[in-house]
Amino acid sequence: MTWDDLNAHLDRVPGTVSAYVGRLDAPPTWTRHPHAAHYAASTMKVAVLAALHRAAEAGALDLDAPVPVVNDFDSAQPGAPRFACAQHYDNDDAVWDRLGGTASLRWLADRMIVRSSNLATNLVIGTVGLPAVAEVWALAGARTSVTGRGIEDFAARDAGITNTVTAADLATLLGALATGATTPGPLASPAACTTMLDVLLAQEHRDDLAAGLPEGTRIAHKNGWVRGVRHGAGVVLPDDAPPYLIAVCTTTDLDGSDEVEDDACLLLAHISAQVWAARHQL
C-alpha cells in the first residue's frame, strides 16, 4: 500500500484522522492533517510525566518520597469548587486501593502511563502544577498542544479550559524524549529521558498502535481514548531498521459504542501495520 492508498482509505473514515510518521531528527515521511487539534484524552500524560522528571532533576521534589493519595483537587477554573475523579472512569484499581494512604511519585507516574490512571495523573499534576506541563510542550517545540486542566475538572471544561493535542506535537514530544536519551536535549538529561522511555515501553494498553506490529516489537508509546476519540503516539524500535515516530489522532462522528471503539483500535493498528511494512523506506 502506498501513502496515497492509505490516505484514500482514511478519506472514507468519518471525522478527522491525523497522522505524523518519520524517523527521529528527520522531516516526516508521511503526514495527514498533522496540525489539526484534537481533544487530548490521555496522551497529555506524556507531558505530565516529563514535567515530573524535570522537577525531580531540578531538585524540587523526590520521586521516591511518599505523597498522600487523595481524591480532591483544585480546579483550573478560578473560583470553582474542588473536584474529584470517578473510579469507574479509571483504568487502574491499584491506585484507588491506596486512597487514604501514600505512594511515591515515581510509582504514581508509572501507573499514569502503563495503566493510564486518571487519579495518578491528577495527583502528579497537583504536585508539579500545570505551568510546568506547559513548559514541557514549549520546550519540545509543540505548536498547538495545551494541557489546561486535570482530568474530570468539569468546571474548567465548562469554562472552555481544555486539553488539546496534534499528531505533529505528540511526535515532537516523543521525539524529544527519544533523542534526549542519547544526546542532551531541552527536556531532561539522557538518564531521565531513558527512564521515561522505559516507562513508555512498559505500556500495558496495546490494542491500537502496538497491535499493528509484530509480536515482541518494542514501542515506547501512550494512547488515549474517550467517546469519539482514539489516539496513539510512540517511538517504534525495530531490530532491523532505525527507530521511527508514529502519531495518529482520530476524532470521529461515531457514537463511542464498544463496536466503534474496536473499529478505532483496528484503524490505528492498520495504520501502524502499513507504516511498519514501509519502515525501511522512512
Mean pLDDT score, 125-147:
98
DSSP string, 90-142: -S-HHHHTTTTSEEEHHHHHHHHHHS--HHHHHHHHHHH-HHHHHHHHHHHT-
List C-alpha distances in Å: 277 to 13, 180, 271, 282.
22, 27, 10, 10
- Pairwise CA distance, residues 50 & 86, whole Å: 25
Average pLDDT, the chain: 95
**Could you tell me the CATH superfamily of domain 3-281?**
DD-peptidase/beta-lactamase superfamily (3.40.710.10)
List C-alpha distances in Å: 126 to 28, 36, 246, 252.
35, 29, 30, 31
The pLDDT value given to residue 130: 98
The pLDDT value given to residue 256: 43
The pLDDT value given to residue 253: 65
Closest CA to 199 of 176, 174, 220, 170: 220
Is the model's pLDDT at 255 over the cut of 70?
Answer: no
State the pTM of this model.
0.96
Per-residue model confidence as pLDDT tens digits over 22-74: 999 899 999 999 999 999 999 999 999 999 999 999 999 999 999 999 999 99
Mean pLDDT score, 158-165:
98
List C-alpha distances in Å: 87 to 41, 93, 122, 197, 237.
16, 8, 13, 27, 34
Per-residue model confidence as pLDDT tens digits over 62-114: 999 999 999 999 999 999 999 999 998 898 999 999 999 999 999 999 999 99
CB 230 within 8 Å of CB 264: yes
Percent of the chain whose pLDDT exceeds 90 = 92
DSSP secondary structure letter of residue 63 = T
Report how far Cα 76 is from the mean position of its chain's Cα atoms: 20
Mean pLDDT score, 161-171:
98
Which sign does the torsion angle of CA 36, 41, 42, 48 carry? positive
Q: In what order do the strands lie in the sheet with 146-147?
A: 38-39, 163-165, 146-147
Is the model's pLDDT at 136 over the cut of 60?
Answer: yes
264: number of Cβ within 10 Å: 26
Counting every residue written for the chain, the total comes to: 282
Return the C-alpha cell found at 250: 482520530
Percent of the chain whose pLDDT exceeds 70 = 96
Rg (CA), the chain: 18
Label residue 208 by pLDDT band (50, 70, 90): very high
